[in-house]
Amino acid sequence: MIPKVFREVIDLGDGREISIETGKLAKQAHGSVVVQSGKCMLLCTVVSNYQQSDVDFLPLTVDYREKFAAAGRYPGGFFKREARPSDGEVLTMRLVDRVLRPLFPKDYHAETQVMIQLMSHDEDVMPDAMAGLAASAAIQLSDIPFETPISEVRVGRINGTFIINPTQAQLLESDIDMVIGASSDSVMMVEGEMKEISEEEMVEAIKFAHDAIKVQCAAQVKLAEAFGKKDIREYEPEREDDALSKKIHDLAYNKVYAVAKSASAKHERGAAFAEIKEEIKATFSEEEQEEYGSLISKYYSKAEKAAVRDLTLNEGLRLDGRKTTDIRPIWCEVDYLPSTHGSSIFTRGETQALATVTLGTSREANQIDMPSFEGEERFYLHYNFPPFSTGEARPLRGTSRREVGHGNLAQRALKGMVPEDYAYTVRVVSEVLESNGSSSMATVCAGTMALMDAGVPIKKPVSGIAMGLITDTETGKYAVLSDILGDEDHLGDMDFKVTGTADGITACQMDIKVKGLSYEILVNALKQAQAGRLHILGKLVETIAQPNPDVKPHAPKMITRIIPNEFIGALIGPGGKVIQELQKATKTTIVINEDPVTEEGIVEILGTNQDGIDAVLAKIDSLMFKPEVGGTYEVKVIKMLDFGAVVEYTQAPGNEVLLHVSELAWERTENVSDVVNMGDVFNVKYFGVDPKTRKEKVSRKALLEKPEGYVARPPRDNSRDNRGSRDNRGRDNRGRDNRRDDRRPRDDKKED
């Protein structure tokens, strides 16, 4: 029996639609939907256990995968099966997780899985923009407790016109690429890159996206009502004790407030807070501690948060003694590592990043192979966050999702400043050595200086800053915090990171935890961030004002040469012999690519020795050398033969041609060595390709005067009549019937 299908359609307003459908697939999941736009289809399922986990947080897993079959392709590599998620998939998981997680009840701790799969791909639809919609719609069809529907959209802008969910081709023309996540009444998440736009333009894009999201949230509500809205499941809530909460608040608040106001360092402050907590625990008996242990910790954290927030709202002071607009002390250094192609240190307060730059050929480009996108990155950035940077010892389990996300943000901040025609592939690596607030923004600053130190001609330097927000909904007070600490990150109502040049924003990442944040506060926060960015930018420019004019002496130099398609094979040689020997002899790296439009060869020559690079260029010039018919060229004898001499053009070493013995001199030449010898240099005239021999013809004698009385030999008569029949060349012309009589048939021999 065909199941009943429920469907809602969202009109994007430009002829495109998004449909949300349920009832046909994955019916054993607690909620499942198929979201479709064009030929792009996402299947999203959600399942949540009915038993609470024995943890004090929500064990939520958001998994996004793109199936290669969706694009009619096979997975790359030896094993033809999808394996670990790509960076692109991880980034989509993070986008969805950041919007969903805050909307589950704080005391809901059941294991929950949201799984999103790309089942059918459309090259004109970017599937990651619909992942948030799919996740929220699946949850709305379940009985899982969840505050309100949300959705996510991508916003682009072409020639001043905003576009919802642009295509990959449209993004190439767009000066904005932002993903916004929101509910009907609140913007919750913003992430993207821009081409130096203003704060006001960024807010306009967010408003435009929010209007589209409201329509998508309404469609989810309609679908859930048509399907039959389920009763929200009951679960065992966390234990609460209002009297205990008040007691701990009264015991802790003033002490915490005093420590917070003392402007201590991170570890001193942490130790002082830990001491207060132990003092409070000591006021309870062992039996009470055993009974209320988790509640004591919970209510202490609540009191600590309240005290720190009140200090900022009431007195404008922060944990380290700064005012809300102050930036921590900064010191920078470039060229710290002697062997790297570029390096820098950026230290701001207790956060430090060491960045390195490595230059390479197109062979070192980062290859991206996803069902929804194939291509390569000639500029990419990797971010590493070791446990010692926060004074911790914990297992290393590969690159975390956080490291992927922070590295991507810094990459997006900087990549627009690297010229598109820059010949090198550039890899930036950020090693976070200390962390107490926004190591990703320290990475942007360190990366900028390392690029300039490496001699990468970036258009403008980029700086970044992490901001925070504390609000009081009852009084209407709010405080925007510049350059937040790690502690302020989780105590505030919003944390956002903004990067940019002196002329505008290049990237942002924003998580808003307070409902109904006004756009006025958002603009004010962005303006304060601008002031902080410019202050930090000034410190960077003091350290290194502009890119170094050249790469470092030990860094590879890159020369790019365009050659016609017909010469690519000659440069490579049979089995790669020519190019391999050339690389070995010149100690260079040679990479040849073919221009997809012109089909010309793009030759990249990378080496630290200029003489080696020059030798490769000379070889290319030699291969491309084309003498003109009638032209005179200097040649050198490189090989002696019985019937002539092999000569090479001195202006194109390696470009050889045969000088026939008959073209050496006007007189008859018995021995080639009578006229020329190895190493002789002289001029020849080029006659082009001889129609008889089909080989190139050059002549030495054509440039010499004819001897007095010289008489040219008459041309040889090649006619058959004058030479006689080919059958009369002294051969025995006996026919096949005149074979020797004593030859026996094969059968006779067998009988013998």
- Pick out the residues of the known binding site for Mg(2+): 489, 495
3-state secondary structure of 300: helix
CB 382 within 8 A of CB 429: yes
DSSP H or E segment with residue 303? helix 286-315
- Pick out the residues of the known binding site: 489, 495
Q: What is the DSSP string of 570-604?
A: HHH-GGGHHHHHHHHHHT-EEEEEE-TTT--EEEE
CA 143/CA 30 separation, integer angstroms: 7
571 — phi, psi (to 5°)? -70, -35
Rg (CA), the chain: 38
3-state secondary structure of 330: strand
Q: What is the DSSP string of 415-438?
A: HTTS-TT--SEEEEEEEEEE-SS-
DSSP H or E segment with residue 181? strand 176-183
- Residue 466 CB burial class (10 angstroms; 0-12, 13-18, ≥19): buried
Which residue type is seen at 117? Answer: Q
CB 477 within 8 A of CB 529: no
CB 604 within 8 A of CB 364: no
How many CA atoms within 13 Å lie on the side-chain side of 209? Answer: 32
Query: What are the respective helix, strand and coil percentages of the chain, to the nearest 5?
Result: 35, 30, 35
For the four alpha carbons of 676, 679, 685 and 691, in that order, the dihedral sign comes to positive
CA 450/CA 461 separation, integer angstroms: 11
DSSP H or E segment with residue 160? none
